[in-house]
Amino acid sequence: MFGPALRRLTSWFVPASMVALMSAGAVGQEAENAIPKSLGTFKHPEDNLSDPRKIALGKQLYFDPRLSADKTVSCATCHDPKHGWSDGRATSAGVGGQVGGRNAPTVINSAFHRFHFWDGRAATLEEQALGPIANPIEMNLPVEEAVKRLNEIEGYKKQFNEIFGGDVTKECLAKALAAYERTILSGDAPYDRFKAGDTSALSEPAVRGMKLFFGKANCSACHSGPNFTDFAFHNIGVGMDKPEPDKGRVVISELEGDTGAFKTPTLREVARSGPYMHDGGMKTLEEVVEYYAKGGTPNKYLDEEISKLNLTDQDKSDLVTFLKEGLSSDTYPMHEKPELPE
């Protein structure tokens, strides 16, 4: 069996500094603001460089329910700005009221991620973008049918021709959606201002919680870096006491040590994106902190970083205050649904 430490090394590694520039000017100011300084930079794929028109097109597609079989579900249905770019449900509902087995992860700052979905089965945003459209319990529309529909909408056909030089294809559909998703960014929160020298940016309880987060509570062992995630996969015990637990990353990696492991989510805007965990089983951040404090759920593959914590009630309260107050940005990307083409 591969141990947790080896699993983290084999699951993902990428240099901390990557070079990129964000285009400025198109889908409304919210999508074209510069990358928050606190986040660093990310790299656009060479075959899908940022372009204002492409981003505007991707935004329309993201909010358009015509990309689902019954024309009732859009990407924004499960990844809604009003719910932290998740949907406020434990597990998401797709066409026909079908309910999946996993919580809809936030797409905030997904531009920085090396893997996508809870199990990391997509390596790029372009690859990720088409998955929910075709998934039978999400949008349930074969990608070929989605392409056909879009080619029958004059407003879309015209944009694809202007931007990509031809009619709609699945490759260009994926590129447009991914280009827009790379503009969903959040940073420069009170925590960032505090670290930059503004000692008034955090309240005293939040400062205590921050010290616990990076200290005794050991949260930063996995929730590290500017996005508060190591982008790796960990078994923290959630659901492992069920008769048939979700196997998580192991289905993709085929490494035994990845059994029950799921991608570490970003904690940016975490106060907005509950419920929490891959199964949505924890409604509040208070529940999450309590779960970690007790040491998770014991199982054969439990990550080595998970252990019982000696936290007082005040400690737990301060941690929650830091998560809510410190990581919620005043420049939260509350994107509005655009006018859709006919």
Give catalytic residue positions.
138
In sequence order, the 6+-apart residues with CB closer than 8 A to the CB of 14 are 114, 231
In sequence order, the 6+-apart residues with CB closer than 8 A to the CB of 331 are 33, 36, 186, 187, 188
* Cα 303 to the center of its chain, rounded Å: 21
Gap between the Cα atoms of 139 and 339, Å rounded: 21
Listed as own residue / partner, the contacts of 217-225 with beta carbons closer than 8 Å and 24 or more positions apart are 217/292, 217/309, 217/311, 217/315, 217/319, 218/305, 218/309, 219/292, 219/319, 221/305, 222/264, 222/303, 222/305, 223/264, 223/267, 225/16
3-state helix, strand, coil in the chain (%, to 5): 40, 5, 55
CB neighbour burial string for 297-332, b if at least 16 within 10 angstroms, e if fewer:
bebebbbeebeebebeeebbbbbbbbbebbbbbeeb
Nearest to 52 by CA among 173, 163, 174, 186: 163
